[in-house]
Structure 1
Amino acid sequence: MAKVIRKGSAPSLHNWLVLSLLLLFRLGEGGLQLDYYSESCPRAAEIIKEQVQKLYEKHGNTAVSWVRNLFHDCMVKSCDASILLVEANGIVSEQKSDRNFGMRNFKYIHTIKSALESECPMTVSCADIVALSAREGVIMLGGPYISMKTGRRDSKESYADVVQDFIPLHNDSIDVVLSRFQSIGIDVEGTVALLGAHSVGRVHCVNLVNRLYPTLDPTLDPDYGEYLRGRCPSPQPDPDAVEYARNDRETPMVLDNMYYKNLLRNKGLMLIDQQLVSHPSTSPFVDSMASNNSYFLDRFASAMILMSENNPITGDAGQVRNDCRFVNKG
């Protein structure tokens, strides 16, 4: 005969613990978690780390690409690997948007995914690859370890038609930039820190010439402006040509606060960068980050976590793509 609990009586401690654990499981189910793959693919994070390191040794610029991927994916609706979809079966790729101009090395995501599929088929999402490869990219660039949760699932659609509504342009006003980041929960301090990613990598002349021609932008250091004109000798650069300037000539492949020091010297590359110095809400953070590298890296790590957790697809929604370039069939 089943045991009956009379009205008003309390359940046993054992039953209470079971119910509590079930509740906790359900609350966590469908959300992001630390070590999400601890049982389904215990070496997932390690495999991604190994592949990122191998790719960095062969192609050092991949480290910058991993960090950029996170921003360009997560800013547009969700951290869901939609940016990795290529044009096929009616999909219009986000990669074709002018807001994603200069993005590259997507092909190496396939390298990482293949390594994961060999060990844990159809388990680790492309969205989590984007997140964890960004974490490892930061480390490759001399930045801090960032504790990122996993459990994201992949989008079944591209958002190419709305990319421009989420990712700011290089010459947008700082108010527009701040509002875009605020829409995903990142405050002014976090926005200034994330723009510090411009301390690594390079900028194509297409995004610079508006400050160089027909006259030099008066907010640009004149000597630096002449140097940039040497890098970008035409006011109408060929977008397919390798014409660029490094974000930071002193520590070009190190994620550090040299970016902010350069801004204070009027050596910011893009208009979006230099505005940080003149805007009253951002300039105090520029000063603080220029004077304290540890403070910058700490704020950068915190903002990266917030960005990586923007509206993820979890639980039974979306899918885990077999190939990050295509939506699964069926």
Structure 2
Amino acid sequence: MKIATFSVLLLLLFIFPVALAQLKFKFYSESCPNAETIVENLVRQQFARDPSITAALTRMHFHDCFVQGCDASLLIDPTTSQLSEKNAGPNFSVRGFELIDEIKTALEAQCPSTVSCSDIVTLATRDAVFLGGGPSYVVPTGRRDGFVSNPEDANEILPPPFISVEGMLSFFGNKGMNVFDSVALLGAHTVGIASCGNFVDRVTNFQGTGLPDPSMDPTLAGRLRNTCAVPGGFAALDQSMPVTPVSFDNLFFGQIRERKGILLIDQLIASDPATSGVVLQYASNNELFKRQFAIAMVKMGAVDVLTGSAGEIRTNCRAFN
């Protein structure tokens, strides 16, 4: 993977100091020197088979880091006696677990009990973003895996698709993110899809009016009504033409400025005074969006991490040791 187009020094200036004290760049250079290459090669193979893995891993990383921190708690399988975060409603559609398993197996064969599952998720997401056309960036590593995975935590913490802009900014702000980070992270929707259950009210019965959301383009609303008339319907969150649901670019921001946001929060950030200026900047400058997205991803990957003697290095990402 090529070196990031902006220097590590620039990242250091933007990431909060505590995270940098806990994590290190090239953490595995001595203990498992081929770790990042192994991750990259397996992600590349998966991407060749299924380019939508970029969206899947980005979502997995987000859902893991914002619940109990980046500790791979989302990867834990439930048992007959104990539920896990996988049982939480917002996580039912999270996927990509098999790829994480494949990477973990390869790393355990070469460097037993060395590379954490939380680092695997972070590295794999970084590689998938780049393969999808997103920025190339470096991430510090050294995370350890957590001991807790409860569905209640995910249900209570993860934001719904109808969250307000104020609520969204507060959600990210509580984790050290500013408005530029927050809007950039929502830009990951450029490669995502959503099931009709997340937006059908906007095209059929917005806020109980029996009418579509007036903030949505009428042509799009009509098309989505037809989509959601079929069981299991879904739509690409990036509705720019031509539709590029697996291409990581800034067309998403231009689309929501044209009232073609699928999720309510996507549409709101284009019109709310607190975020609309940032949306315009990203819509106008693809490189600016990608650069800020990379910075935000490094910040997100450092949220409430376990390092040093805290946590553990799982031998199986789906179960505590």
Fold shared per TM-score above 0.5 = yes
How far apart, CA to CA, are the structure 2 residues paired with 1:131 and 1:268?
A: 28
How far apart, CA to CA, are the structure 2 residues paired with 1:88 and 1:155?
A: 17
> Deviation per CA, 1:119-148, whole angstroms, max 9, x where unpaired?
111110000001000100111110111210
Q: Answer whether contact 2:199 2:263 (CA < 8 A) is retained.
A: yes
Q: Answer whether contact 1:91 1:158 (CA < 8 A) is retained.
A: no
> Deviation per CA, 1:160-181, whole angstroms, max 9, x where unpaired?
2121332110011111111110
Structure 1 gap ranges (5+): 1-26
How far apart, CA to CA, are the structure 1 residues paired with 2:124 and 2:69?
A: 17
How far apart, CA to CA, are the structure 2 residues paired with 1:60 and 1:254?
A: 9
How far apart, CA to CA, are the structure 1 residues paired with 2:82 and 2:131?
A: 33
Aligned match for 2:275, one of 271, 282, 288: 282
How far apart, CA to CA, are the structure 2 residues paired with 1:180 and 1:171?
A: 13
Matched, 1:313 2:299: no
What secondary structure, in the 3-state scheme, does the structure 1 residue paired with 2:105 have?
A: helix
Q: Answer whether contact 2:28 2:35 (CA < 8 A) is retained.
A: yes
Bigger drift between 224-233 and 158-167 goes to 158-167
What secondary structure, in the 3-state scheme, does the structure 1 residue paired with 2:259 have?
A: coil
Matched, 1:257 2:250: yes
Larger radius of gyration: 1
How far apart, CA to CA, are the structure 2 residues paired with 1:304 and 1:28?
A: 13
What secondary structure, in the 3-state scheme, does the structure 1 residue paired with 2:124 have?
A: helix
2:46 aligns with: 55
How far apart, CA to CA, are the structure 2 residues paired with 1:264 and 1:56?
A: 30
CA distance 1:168–1:28, change in 2 (3 Å): closer
Matched, 1:230 2:226: yes
CA distance 1:315–1:89, change in 2 (3 Å): farther
Letter in 2 for 1:276: I
Q: CA deviation at 1:30?
A: 8.2
Q: CA deviation at 1:29?
A: 11
Q: CA deviation at 1:28?
A: 11
Letter in 2 for 1:283: S
What secondary structure, in the 3-state scheme, does the structure 2 residue paired with 1:212 have?
A: helix
Structure 2 gap ranges (5+): 1-17, 206-210
Q: CA-atom RMSD, angstroms?
A: 1.7
CA distance 1:327–1:232, change in 2 (3 Å): same
1:246 aligns with: 236
2:143 aligns with: 152
Q: CA deviation at 1:59?
A: 2.2
Bigger drift between 312-321 and 206-215 goes to 206-215
Letter in 2 for 1:138: V
How far apart, CA to CA, are the structure 1 residues paired with 2:174 and 2:85?
A: 20
Alignment of 1:99-138 (within 5 A): 99-138=90-129
Letter in 1 for 2:58: V
2:208 aligns with: none
Q: CA deviation at 1:92?
A: 1.6
How far apart, CA to CA, are the structure 2 residues paired with 1:224 and 1:86?
A: 39
Count of residue pairs brought into register by the alignment: 296
Letter in 1 for 2:238: D
Identity of paired residues, percent?
40
> Deviation per CA, 1:103-126, whole angstroms, max 9, x where unpaired?
112122111111111111111000
How far apart, CA to CA, are the structure 2 residues paired with 1:64 and 1:248?
A: 12
